[in-house]
Structure 1
Amino acid sequence: MQPYELSLAAAADAIRERRLSPVELADSVLQRIAQMQPRLQAYVTISAERARRAAREAEREIVAGRHRGPLHGIPMGLKDLIDVAGTPTTASSQVRAGHLARTDSTVATRLAQAGAVLLGKTHTHEFAYGLTTPQTHNAWDTDRIAGGSSGGSAVAVAAGMATFALGTDTGGSIRVPSALNGVVGLKPTYGLIPRHGVTSLSWSLDHVGPITRTVEDAALVLTALTGHDPQDAASLDFASLDAASPTTPAADYRPTADPDLTGLRVGVPRNYYFDHTDPEVEDSVRQAINRLQALGARLVEVEIPMTRYIQATQWALMVPEATAYHEGTLRTVPELYQADVRTLLEAGELMPAGDYLRAQRSRTLMRQEWTRLLRQVDVIAAPTIPATAVKAGQETITWADGTVEGVSDAYVRLSSPANITGIPSLSIPVGQDTAGLPIGMQLLGRPLGERVLLRIGHAYEQTLEAMISL
């Protein structure tokens, strides 16, 4: 196995035990980038010399006995919405040509403090306003979409071009590309990871989170990123929470090795999540749910509330908030936007304030209903996406009953409830279809329930490792 193929946890152990140097790891990943970038186009910018300098510095610190933790010396990519001082934040858009960030975002600061090595900035669908990231190619089949909007981050991790990466998620933009590329994606509880210094799409729906190869890796990155930030008005103030409460954020999210899930209740939706879903996707997800049952979990059928309002609520919140953010440049340089994004931004100018207010009311009611639902179960298990990666340029999906659905509408449909309600959602790979394309299952939990999601996801992964070793 080459260093670029290692999981974050495995690489961290090897670095700590002096079996691998950060320089060797960075060189291996950079060589992989040089090999794969022309085919996959995961990165907007690659900072090879900066990465090598950081790797050498990490090596010096570790040799001197100043090991900072599991991210020290680990190469990573950042979605090009995330500010790093002195580097461009282009949002994959001509609107941002010539832009340089003046300061680090909070997450970039925390990763630097943890000793992570920045490789470069990864592509996003322009300003994160889409589910395909058209300039980037799927890691499993270059003729297919990467998913979005964090397509570059997911492809980089899947192809060995980063040991981990950060993405953002407004309606599924971490989980959708993670599922389409066979990696792990975590959208945390709203406000758990600060967003200061991260270009906004929709302030009340935006989240930052990790994309990794394993659930354990996601836990390691999450641990480094959490903590209150007064620069983000939505950032959770953990000091005000009861330390004994089960919803108090964990200091260390790394799951235990015990795969026993006895006592946990897993909700299996009887509506919505398996409607208009490809049969191969449904079959893989239901098999994965059965594995959770074999590990001791109790399956409970649940009814997803207010499903007829989900799509309308998502769009009525996102569209006017996005348009408000882009108001100035939309009026001065509209021609610099890609056609699909410009159309959505202009549509936001036509939306009545009453529609936005009704969407806020719908969100409040939806949160209340999901709170009641999650009293019945500990997590809900469902498909992340209803279909695997479509061919580049394909605009619609036709379901068995003849219903035609836009590709972006299909991909966002199952992921957006977690954004509207703010609950955490973890996407993990659970198989492949007959074309060999990855399938993802998402676990949705209670607010600040990341530790439970990670425990279940890790237990599932261990069942796969056990099967492979037989």
Structure 2
Amino acid sequence: MGEPAIERRTGLSRRGFLGAAALGAAGAATLGTTGTAAARPAVRHTGTSSHTLPSPDTVTVSDPALLGAVEAASLLRSGRLHPRELLDACLSRSAALDGEIGGWIRIYPEMAYEAADAAAQRLSAKSRSTHGEAPLVCGIPLALKDLFAVSGLPLTASSRVLDGNIAAGDSTVWRQLRDAGMVLMGHAHTDEFAIGVATEQVGNPWNTEFSPGGSSGGSAALLAARFVPLATGTDTGGSLRLPASACGITSIKPTFGRCSAYGVIPLTWTRDHPGPMARSIADASLLLGHMAGADPNFPATYAAPDAPAEGYPLAAKGGERPLAGKRFGVARRSVDVLPAPLGTLFGEFLDLVRRLGGSVVDISLPIAAPDLLTGDSAEMGSYHRQFSDRLADYRLDNGATVAATLAALAVPSIDYMTSARNRMVYQHDYNRMFADNDLDAVLVPGSKMDGAKRLEIAGVSVFGGTTGDVRWANLTGTPVVCTPAGRSSATGLPFGVQIGGRPWDEKGLIEIALELQAARPDWQAAPTIPAAPRDIPRVQATTPGAGPDPTNTSNVGFGFHFLPTTATAPV
């Protein structure tokens, strides 16, 4: 599929805005709020500064559904775009084109229109004069991966195992985004319980015979198809990065503890990383600023240093050599096994880094001890044992995986403790690699496969490393940006590069990615999607589940969590 010429004009019409405003006044949704929640956790910054948004006069996209989040924020704040107009465009595009992609599992139009009208009020001059500026994400539509609880709405992890499950409360991430004024459009499909790398029920918008990656494949597909400007995902074994690479979008896997995982159906409690997904790094950075924050329900968040008070950066500094003085380590073992078309794209990416002033050295990522999989299996099994009488309801290959993790619960506790100890050693080795090579970031291919048919990788676990070298970042808990790096000359499918850093250095990685995307905007490429209407399931909020966990499942977890460290060796 090719890249369409996106229709552009100067700004959005005032007439369109006024029409949407009149519609909002005449037909506001009547659905109430979706339940109460615990006290909101402390968020480290307000993210209300607009000095880094583009001027609305420079935004020339004519179809609101094609707007990036930062562009939409500029138009919403200027009054040139009504939140209802933006939501209308996203819902209409989804209904017209999602038939072959199938990225949405459910949508919530009534709730969404109510939220859009509330956002419009919050963005009004009267409200701003009384209550101050609204957060930058106010009024922007959002897709949540079908692991994030929203009180009174279905939460099924794209699995028959959870048919009929209704969330008992709000996940912390959703509560923060809701309070910031975001408009929830719906839940996106995930690979069942986030187990695999395929998300085989979803088609890649670039070629629907191929996988969008997993497990956050639904979120990535919705973004690539321009059905929604922002989405959440999770990453336990590459599940933010593999879909980003496969679909040509951008993701940020934050440091473990930067974003709370409370109220998110887990895969493994000490490796799950909620994170933002978007078309560009600026858009993903905008969302990260409102996902991050301390949460008493997820103590690891209190280890995080403060996020920037003004929010994460949204614009490149520019200049001829903006990466001058930056030193990048190339994971040579991962690069040498790439298929030729991907090797060419990776080489071009390195040339771009050098042209912008960065220096490149070969490095070897640490090799993980084999027993680290013991921890993955035990943690996964300890959650899924509540469904041990429903193994037949899992997809066939996933049922076998779950059965194996249940068997892993018989592993002696000393083996789990040894695995945790070896994980700490691995993290120290990673930090020492940074120190010894004086690195600012590492560069790792986003995939080692030039596309994968949906059924070819169905049932392949995220722990296997089959489709990409990704596990290093989950074991260390370190932040990674996955950024588009062109399309394969053989398959026409996108390819991405992972930019990994030290713990808590999201800001530094975002600054690097902003310069790279400004110099070569591969993220702007869009697939041509043929008309394929779909009657997407529509759901209204109902009585929340019994709980007590927001997911309405038994989600005990641990009284402790893994904490990232910058140490290079035990004291």
Aligned ranges 1:47-446 → 2 under 5 Å: 47-63=108-124, 64-66=126-128, 67-238=133-304, 241=305, 248-251=306-309, 252-259=311-318, 260-270=322-332, 272-306=333-367, 309=369, 312-313=370-371, 315-330=373-388, 332-351=389-408, 352-353=411-412, 354-375=414-435, 376-395=438-457, 409-411=464-466, 413-434=468-489, 435-446=491-502
Shift of 1:313: 5.0
Shift of 1:362: 2.2
Shift of 1:234: 2.5
Q: What's 1:14 paired with? A: 75
Shift of 1:202: 0.2
Contact 2:204–2:247 (8 Å) recurs in 1: yes
Separation of aligned partners in 1, 2:385 and 2:461? 27
Shift of 1:276: 2.4
Contact 1:171–1:314 (8 Å) recurs in 2: no
* Deviation readout 1:428-459 (Å, 9 max, x if unpaired): 00000022100000000000011111111110
Shift of 1:94: 1.1
* Deviation readout 1:375-395 (Å, 9 max, x if unpaired): 220100120111232112224
* Deviation readout 1:155-187 (Å, 9 max, x if unpaired): 011111111100011000011111100000111
Q: Which has the higher helix share?
A: 1
Contact 1:394–1:407 (8 Å) recurs in 2: no
AA aligned to 2:387 is: T
Q: What's 2:16 paired with? A: none
Secondary structure of the corresponding residue to residue 407 of structure 2: coil
Question: Residue 350 and residue 275 in structure 1: after superposition, are their counterparts in 2 closer, same or farther (change >3 A)?
Answer: farther
Question: Residue 161 and residue 51 in structure 1: after superposition, are their counterparts in 2 closer, same or farther (change >3 A)?
Answer: same
Contact 2:237–2:462 (8 Å) recurs in 1: no
Separation of aligned partners in 1, 2:371 and 2:485? 29
AA aligned to 2:376 is: M
Shift of 1:65: 3.5
Shift of 1:60: 2.1
Separation of aligned partners in 2, 1:315 and 1:131? 17
Separation of aligned partners in 1, 2:248 and 2:521? 16
Question: Residue 466 and residue 34 in structure 1: after superposition, are their counterparts in 2 closer, same or farther (change >3 A)?
Answer: closer
Separation of aligned partners in 2, 1:466 and 1:377? 25
Contact 2:275–2:288 (8 Å) recurs in 1: yes
Separation of aligned partners in 2, 1:406 and 1:30? 32
Separation of aligned partners in 2, 1:143 and 1:104? 35
Secondary structure of the corresponding residue to residue 167 of structure 1: strand
Contact 2:286–2:314 (8 Å) recurs in 1: no
Contact 1:429–1:439 (8 Å) recurs in 2: yes
Contact 1:178–1:184 (8 Å) recurs in 2: yes
Question: Residue 146 and residue 34 in structure 1: after superposition, are their counterparts in 2 closer, same or farther (change >3 A)?
Answer: same
AA aligned to 1:269 is: A
Separation of aligned partners in 2, 1:218 and 1:313? 34
Shift of 1:256: 4.2
1:447 partnered with 2:507: no
AA aligned to 1:349 is: L
Separation of aligned partners in 2, 1:168 and 1:179? 15
Separation of aligned partners in 1, 2:210 and 2:156? 24
Separation of aligned partners in 1, 2:466 and 2:173? 27
Separation of aligned partners in 1, 2:112 and 2:89? 12
* Deviation readout 1:64-88 (Å, 9 max, x if unpaired): 3334122010001000100001101
Separation of aligned partners in 1, 2:257 and 2:462? 29
Contact 2:372–2:420 (8 Å) recurs in 1: no
* Deviation readout 1:89-142 (Å, 9 max, x if unpaired): 100111111111121110001101111100000101111010001111111101
Secondary structure of the corresponding residue to residue 76 of structure 2: helix
Secondary structure of the corresponding residue to residue 99 of structure 2: helix
AA aligned to 1:137 is: G
Question: Residue 430 and residue 378 in structure 1: after superposition, are their counterparts in 2 closer, same or farther (change >3 A)?
Answer: same
Secondary structure of the corresponding residue to residue 301 of structure 1: strand
Contact 1:167–1:208 (8 Å) recurs in 2: yes
Question: Residue 415 and residue 73 in structure 1: after superposition, are their counterparts in 2 closer, same or farther (change >3 A)?
Answer: same
Q: TM-score, normalised by structure 2?
A: 0.75
Contact 1:313–1:363 (8 Å) recurs in 2: no
Question: Residue 83 and residue 415 in structure 1: after superposition, are their counterparts in 2 closer, same or farther (change >3 A)?
Answer: same
Q: TM-score, normalised by structure 1?
A: 0.91
Aligned residues: 447
Contact 1:314–1:416 (8 Å) recurs in 2: no
* Deviation readout 1:359-388 (Å, 9 max, x if unpaired): 222211110100111222010012011123
AA aligned to 2:367 is: M
Q: What's 2:51 paired with? A: none
Tell which has more relative contact order, 1 or 2 (C-alpha 8 A, sep 6+): 2
Return 5+ residue gaps in structure 2 as ranges. 1-60, 525-571
Q: What's 1:463 paired with? A: 519
Separation of aligned partners in 1, 2:173 and 2:371? 29
Contact 2:141–2:230 (8 Å) recurs in 1: yes
Secondary structure of the corresponding residue to residue 372 of structure 1: helix
Q: Which has the larger radius of gyration?
A: 2
Shift of 1:196: 0.6
Separation of aligned partners in 2, 1:321 and 1:9? 38
Contact 1:4–1:28 (8 Å) recurs in 2: yes
* Deviation readout 1:343-369 (Å, 9 max, x if unpaired): 111112333235433322221111010
